[in-house]
Amino acid sequence: MTQTSTFEPTNEVQIVPSVLPADFAKLGEECAALEAAGVDRIQFDVMDGRFVPNLTFGADTIAAVREHSSVIFEAHLMVHEPDWMLESIVEAGCELVIVHAEACTHLHRTLGKIKELGAAASVALNPHTPIDFLQNVTDLLDMVLIMTVNPGFGGQAYISTMEPKIAATRKLLDTADRWIDIEVDGGISNKTIAGASKAGANVFISGSGIYGHPGGSSEAVTELRQLATEARN
Ligand code: DX5
């Protein structure tokens, strides 16, 4: 089964909430509210309890909420050897699929399978993982996710020492023959987004930075977008 993703990497600032802090008892309504708040996409953190010490949801949950929002869905697969679930994740309505370099024995093959399914492909690097892992797969990438926390939980502190890694990744990706987005995920808030943006990220995942914002999600999205835009070189 293949479908054509409408996802296009652009050098624009994108604010993308993680639904990890959402009320899972009404996840459909939460997705509708995020769209109304002006988000660019919605990210689903799929955790398997093996690659990360936490367990969330899978394709069926994503499929159940697909009809509640018209924005692009992306899946962050924190899953050991995720090939087996790629088709169901795309069928559930995700147009962008992110896999971890550390979780894929055959990363090139896994990324190729995502593309064959008609989705956009991204690789995530944990804080300790060098960007060398990107060298031989950039031709398959639409986006790179630089983790700014160790994955598995929301509400963690931003790891600012990832900023030079973000800058080095931007330099590496600029040698490609087309634009490839850099997404950051973990501890992104109105206090940290400027540093990540200045370093070279253009897509920003935020869970607690949006859900915990005193002004509500719409104000959070507007503020994050403004701060990221102002900080760009
Ligand atoms: C890490 C998760 C979190 C989540 C965002 O495993 O991927 O980073 O999406 O959580 P906050 O924005 O609360 O750090």
Reply yes or no on whether 185 is catalytic.
yes
**Is residue 3, in this structure, part of any structural domain at all?**
no
List pLDDT tens digits, range 175-218.
999 999 999 999 999 999 999 999 999 999 999 999 999 999 99
Question: Ligand 1 pocket check: which of 15, 43, 45, 57 to mutate, most ligand atoms within 8 Å of Cβ?
Answer: 45
Q: Is 17 in the pocket of ligand 1 (CB under 6 A)?
A: no
Q: Is residue 104 part of a domain?
A: yes
* Span from the CA of 209 to the centroid of ligand 1 (angstroms): 9
CA R_g for the chain? 16
What pLDDT score does 3 carry? 63
List the 14-17 sheet strands across, edge first. 14-17, 203-206, 181-185, 143-147, 120-125, 94-100, 72-78, 41-47
20 lines ligand 1 (CB under 6 A): yes
Catalytic residue flag (residue 142): no
Overall average pLDDT of the 106-126 stretch? 98
Tell me, what CATH number does 117's domain have?
A: 3.20.20.70
Task: Count up the domains in the chain and report the number.
Answer: 1
Query: Considering the domain boundaries, does residue 8 fall inside one?
Result: no
Q: Is residue 137 part of a domain?
A: yes
Residue nearest to atom 8 of ligand 1 (CA): 186
Give the mean pLDDT of the chain.
97
**Residue 5 maps to a domain:** no
Q: Name the closest-CA residue to atom 1, ligand 1.
A: 151
Provide the domain limits for residue 76.
14-232
Q: Is residue 162 part of a domain?
A: yes
Q: Does some domain include residue 2?
A: no
Asked whether the CA dihedral 157, 159, 163, 165 is positive or negative, the reply is negative
The ligand 1 atom nearest the CA atom of 185: 8
Percent of the chain exceeding pLDDT 90 equals 95
Q: Does residue 7 belong to any structural domain of this protein?
A: no
- pLDDT, one tens digit per residue, over 46-85 is 999 999 999 999 999 999 999 999 999 999 999 999 999 9
